[in-house]
Amino acid sequence: MGAGDPAELTALPAVHELASKLTGAPHALAVTAARRAIDERRAAITAGLTPEADLTAAALEQLERLTSPSLRRVINATGVILHTNLGRAPLPMVAREAIARTAAGYSNLELSLETGARGSRQQHAAALLCELTGAHAALVVNNGAAAVLLAVAVAGGPVIVSRGQLVEIGGGFRIPDVIAAGGAQLVEVGTTNRTRAGDYEQVLTDDAAILRVHRSNFATVGFVQDVEIEELCKLGAPVIDDVGSGLLAGGIAAASGEPSIKRSLAAGATLVCCSADKLLGGPQSGLLIGDSEWVAAAARHPLARAVRVDKLTLAALEATLMLYRDPDRARREIPVLSMLDVPEHVLQARAQTLADGIGDGAEIVRTASRPGGGALPLLELQGPAVALNGPPAERTALLRNGTPAVIARIHEERVLLDPRTIADDELELVIAAARR
């Protein structure tokens, strides 16, 4: 029969007939699944394709898609630690437990249990942030870009930025647009590759603030010059320092090139803005840390309501921050930190387990993992990975569409499974997926 043969099209059942075969499903869902299956079959016939014989099976497949959650857990086998498409930082166990406790019922989100009066949702993380950083005050918002937006809005007057820091962040958002949205006037200084302290001094006014933006997604090398945070803070104007990834941990060699929250505060920054996920390892949220008056002004600003954080995020953030009281425990239990600092012998053992379990030509090779998520753009973390045989596009699609979904990467026409981002309790799941 040719493309669009009337006999085949006429033989298609009515939607209600096919839906009646999906016993046990709610009527509305059964009708939707049946309609989608029939529409797909009609399109296949019209295109001259040979459809599967069992239309009921196709409708059942549609029904399964309709009843399965869209947001699912996946296994990250790419080696990219802060993979934005996969939700960036996985949470430590204590943070997951805190979310479950808070979600199970009511909480004292904005209630003082001591006085019975209304409290602030900021009380659950602000004191910890001050304790860990030495800051006078702190505010939590829903992401790092919101922190910068709110800080700029509080500044009010002109905001001075080096031309080399007028960057575009993920999703196409640009620093000049963020400043404009905050209602501030952008004053550009220096050039794309070289900015000096004198460039700032020439345009300083009594109501101006300086914004330093970390170029988190790329690096400039060669004939370049920047003004360090210590020198900026000596110019006399308020300094808002966007340090990007929120590095709070010490003692991790791989992260030594990233600006730290503590250094900026020690230098005298008025406000430090950063993400609370990424290298801090908590839930997606943003931090404003620093001067009490500026933080209080940010909390009073109308935008604060629009970018405020929810109870589950606060629960996870508080639990994550508590780990930092014991630096060794933080490096062990916060997944992002442990992935950055994992010893070679542990990676080798995971790779060997994967290769032995998969068999069928699986081979251990050397590769480079990356931090990802706009952190440490030049850093390559050397280590082993397991290369799989077979057509790369087909193999990654099969892994991606399994249960659980395993997200691998293709390098030099081979599928790689990187043990750096695979947890020990996920190894058997990855082996089973690869064998399938």
372-to-80, 203, 421 alpha-carbon distances in Å: 6, 36, 12
Tell me the chain's radius of gyration from C-alpha atoms.
Answer: 26
pLDDT at 158: 96
Beta bridge partners of 247: 260
CA distances from 189 to 156, 182, 195, 242 (A): 19, 19, 7, 17
Is residue 172 within 8 Å of 222, Cβ to Cβ? no
Per-residue pLDDT 10s for the chain (436 aa) are: 455 678 888 889 999 999 999 988 899 999 999 999 999 999 988 888 877 668 999 999 899 989 989 899 999 999 999 999 999 999 999 999 999 999 999 999 999 999 999 999 999 999 999 999 999 999 999 999 999 999 999 998 999 999 999 998 777 789 999 999 999 999 999 999 999 999 999 999 999 999 999 987 778 888 989 999 999 999 999 999 999 888 998 888 888 888 899 999 999 999 999 999 999 999 999 999 999 999 999 999 999 999 999 999 999 999 999 999 999 999 999 999 999 999 999 999 999 999 999 998 899 999 999 998 877 877 889 999 999 988 999 999 999 988 899 999 999 999 999 999 999 999 999 999 999 8
Residue 266 CB coordination number (10 Å): 14
For the chain, give every domain's residue range. 6-67, 74-85+338-435, 93-333
Q: H/E element holding 139?
A: strand 137-141
Q: Which amino acid is at 309?
A: V
Q: What are the E-state strand segments in 276-378? A: 286-290, 363-372
Looking at residue 1, its amino acid is M
- Distance from CA of residue 112 to its chain's centroid? 32
Give the Å distances, CA to CA, from 434 to 101, 331, 361, 405: 35, 30, 12, 11
pLDDT of residue 1: 43
What local confidence, expressed as pLDDT, does residue 4 receive?
61
Pairing relation of β-strands 414-417 and 409-411?
A: antiparallel
Contacts by 388-393 with C-beta closer than 8 Å and gap 24+?
Answer: 388/358, 388/361, 388/362, 388/414, 388/415, 388/416, 388/417, 388/434, 389/360, 389/361, 389/362, 390/415
Residue at 121: amino acid letter: R
What pLDDT is stored for residue 3 in this prediction?
59
Only one residue has tokens 């300083």, namely 204
With a CB cutoff of 8 Å and minimum separation 6, the contacts of 129 are: 135, 138, 140, 287, 289, 321
The domain over range 74-85+338-435 is classified in CATH as 3.90.1150.180: yes
Do residues 380 and 371 touch, judged by C-beta distance below 8 A?
no
d(CA 199, CA 185): 17
Q: What is the pLDDT of residue 91?
A: 97
* Residues of the chain by 3-state class (helix, strand, coil), percent to 5: 45, 20, 35
Instruction: Tell me the backbone φ, ψ of residue 162, rounded to 5 degrees.
Output: -65, 140
Domain 93-333 in the same topology as domain 74-85+338-435: no
How many CA atoms lie less than 13 Å away from 268 in the CB half-sphere? Answer: 12
- Give the integer Cα–Cα distance in Å for 249 and 229: 19
Sign of the C-alpha dihedral, residues 376, 380, 384, 385? Answer: positive
The CATH class of the 93-333 domain is alpha beta
pTM for the model stands at: 0.89
From the CB of residue 127, how many other CB atoms can be counted at a distance below 10 Å? 14
